[in-house]
Amino acid sequence: MGFQAEQSNINKILSRNYSYIIPLNQRKYVWSEREWYELFEDIFLIEQKDDYVHFLGSLVLASINNKYSYEIIDGQQRLITICIIFCCIINKLLEIKEEKVALSILTPYLKGIHDGEDFFKVARSDGNFFLTQLIDNLDIYRSFDEIQQDFELNFRADDKYNSQLLLCYKFYDSKISDLLNNKKAGKDFLLSLKNKLIGCEVIEISVTDDYDGYRIFETLNARGIPLEQHELIKNYIYSYMRTSAKKEKVTNSWTKLVSNLMRNNTDSFPSFLSHYCTHRFGKIKKSEEFRVIRDKTDKKHVDKLLVSLMKSSEHYMYIEDPKTYKALSNSSEIIFDSLEFFKKLNIRQVRPLLLSLFEKLEGKPSDLRKIETSINYLEKFYFLYVIILKNTTNNIDNTIITLSKELHESVDYDYSIIINKLKSFLPTDHSNIKTDFMKIGFSNKNSKFKNSSNKKTINYILTKIEKSYDFNDELTFSIKSVEHIMGDSPTDDIVSKLGNLLPMSTKLNNKMGNKDFEKKIEYYKKSNLLSVKKFVSEYGSNLTWKEQEINERTEKIVDYALANIWVL
């Protein structure tokens, strides 16, 4: 490993006529108010001897082909933050009409000149960068509101990287304003802040090979905010994909991977990596994903790891958002329905096994029917074991993990193993399942049954029953409202039971209100749902609807469901 380490400071580093490039593999800007305040306090607030300077830690830089540039391997968080503090100081100088002093800081610390052309001292190698836009506009004073308006014109609202930089600027702008107001200070005080900033010391580690930089970067990661597991993995992949073409492949693949896992303002990367490692390697400790992947990956075939992560991220996207799976031209309605169940009922423990099943389907499409059967059984099992019997998943987690790994490693898998292993967790006496099934209910008023979990469960049950009546698979519907045949009650538990519930359109439900049973039947006759038509056919001639009828219908529905839908 070839590198050189020496003591340096911010003045030496930023006053050089070099640019410091944040490479493609670097993580997002993650510092927040806690780190901002600690840095501000350490540099500007702590009273020390006159010769005190703050030590920022190490800065790892790799020389690249351009002799005027370095890549920042480690230290981008600190360099970006320091540059933003410079911007705040310069803007305050512009506010008090000290343009020449402001320019003396702008160049050389934030801008340089090569062959008559300006360049930014710290820049990103891709994408819009709020810092460079901020620096580019440091010719006249601008209020924070003006800076924020400019930001909104140039950056997307969901651009978390640059949004965090805007918040960083706002934080330091406010803190420096407070100091100025409290001390009734001006130019000399702002220059004292600048001098404290450029005096901050670092250990500068220069490497001639980016591979050495990546290795040092991994070793020094203990300082500051620890890298997230996926950032370490990205860095690791880049370190072994050495040619320009391979690095471009990593960039393109990783961009797509991020797109798959960061959808609808939700970051699924941490859970994905945990489930990905479990499905491939078995049970691992939290935050051990990178170490396990690194230790179990053949360094000569890191490209295969990238392909595997990429494919699995697509499969995870289907799990997180089943509609993306349904949009596929060759999607299976059976698999889609099961994915919807796991998503809506928030059953996550099964995900490693789903990843293994999708992996097998990707490699062997001819196994579709077997995989459909397996996923459909998983749906039935989790519904009965978790939703009906109220068991926790702790007892079956190890079995799911073992099945996931065995399936991943197999060449010709016997899918019946999944069913046989899980079936052993269900009671042999099916009457227990029936008894607990009959306790399920939902109410808008009764606190025993009034919660979102019960509502989701009832919607799921009523939907499955409705679909089971549709033998020709002709109907497309979603339950908008649940009708209580005997009026809902805050105290009478019986009216919350399954036998007293019907799926209904919101429009019909609102029209019925609290009408008596005979009048409700007339509205039920207008419904197109098969389960409502079946109810009218069986009970439409009744003059009343009471507890006995509810109990009898509840048992009848449960018997039907266990014989035709959730078959053991």
Domain ranges, ordered by start, for the chain: 3-222, 238-428, 435-564
For residue 472, give both structure tokens: 């020709």
pLDDT digits (tens, 9 = 90+) for 427-453: 988 888 999 999 999 999 999 999 888
High-pLDDT (> 70) share of the chain, %: 92
Give residue 223's pLDDT band: very low, low, confident or very high (50, 70, 90).
Answer: very low
In Å, how far are 3, 38, 427, 435, 492 from 439, measured between CA atoms? 69, 55, 17, 7, 14
Quick one: pLDDT at residue 474? 66
Residues contacting 528, CB < 8 A, separation 6+: none
Instruction: Tell me the average pLDDT across 290-317.
Output: 89
Read off the pLDDT of residues 7-59 as tens digits, 9 standing for 90 and up: 889 999 999 999 999 886 666 788 999 889 888 988 887 655 556 677 787 78
In the prediction, which pLDDT does 59 show? 86
* Least confident segment among 67-81, 171-185, 212-226, 294-308: 212-226
Strands 55-63 and 201-207: parallel
What's the pLDDT at 556? 96
pTM beyond 0.75: no
Could you tell me what percentage of the chain is helix, strand and coil, using 3-state DSSP and rounding each to the nearest 5? 60, 10, 30
What mean pLDDT is predicted for residues 498-508? 91
Contacts (Cβ under 8 Å, ≥6 apart) of 136: 120
Cα separation, 35 vs 78, in Å, equals 10
In contact, 122 and 83? CB cutoff 8 Å: yes
Write the CB contacts of 13 (distance below 8 Å, at least 6 apart in sequence). Answer: 20, 59, 202, 204
- The whole-angstrom separation of Cα 322 and Cα 358 is 13
For tokens 């939703």, name the residue.
Answer: 387
Q: Give the Cα separation of 179 and 192 in Å (integer).
A: 12
Instruction: Find, among 278, 99, 82, the residue nearest to 199 by Cα.
Output: 82
| Alpha-carbon span 136 to 123, nearest angstrom | 12
What's the Cα-to-Cα distance from 551 to each of 57, 246, 430, 433, 547, rounded to whole Å?
71, 66, 19, 16, 6
How many other C-beta atoms are found inside a 10 Å radius of the C-beta of residue 467? 17
Whole-number Å distance between alpha carbons of 268 and 306:
17
Res. 219: pLDDT tops 60: no
Which residues lie below 8 Å from residue 459, measured CB to CB, with a gap of 6+?
A: 344, 479, 482
CA distance 312 to 268: 12
Q: Which residue has the tokens 């009650």?
A: 489
pLDDT in tens, 54-99: 778 778 888 876 667 888 888 889 999 999 999 999 999 999 999 9
Counted residue by residue, the chain has a size of 568
Mean pLDDT of the chain: 88
How high is the pLDDT of residue 222? 45
Is residue 9 helix, strand or coil? strand
Q: Which residues is 360 bridged to in the sheet?
A: none
Question: In the prediction, which pLDDT does 480 show?
Answer: 79
| Of 200, 205, 203, 16, residue with least CA distance to 110 | 16
Neighbour tally for 397: CB within 10 Å = 15
- What interhelical angle do 160-183 and 33-40 show, nearest 10? 40
- Is the distance from CB of 252 to CB of 24 less than 8 angstroms? no
How close are the terminal C-alpha atoms of the chain, in Å?
Answer: 61
Instruction: Give yes or no for a contact between 495 and 484, defined as CB atoms under 8 angstroms apart.
Output: yes
Confidence (pLDDT) at 225: 45
The residue assigned the tokens 């933003």 is 84
Q: What confidence tens digit (pLDDT) does each residue in 133-152 have? A: 999 999 899 999 999 999 99
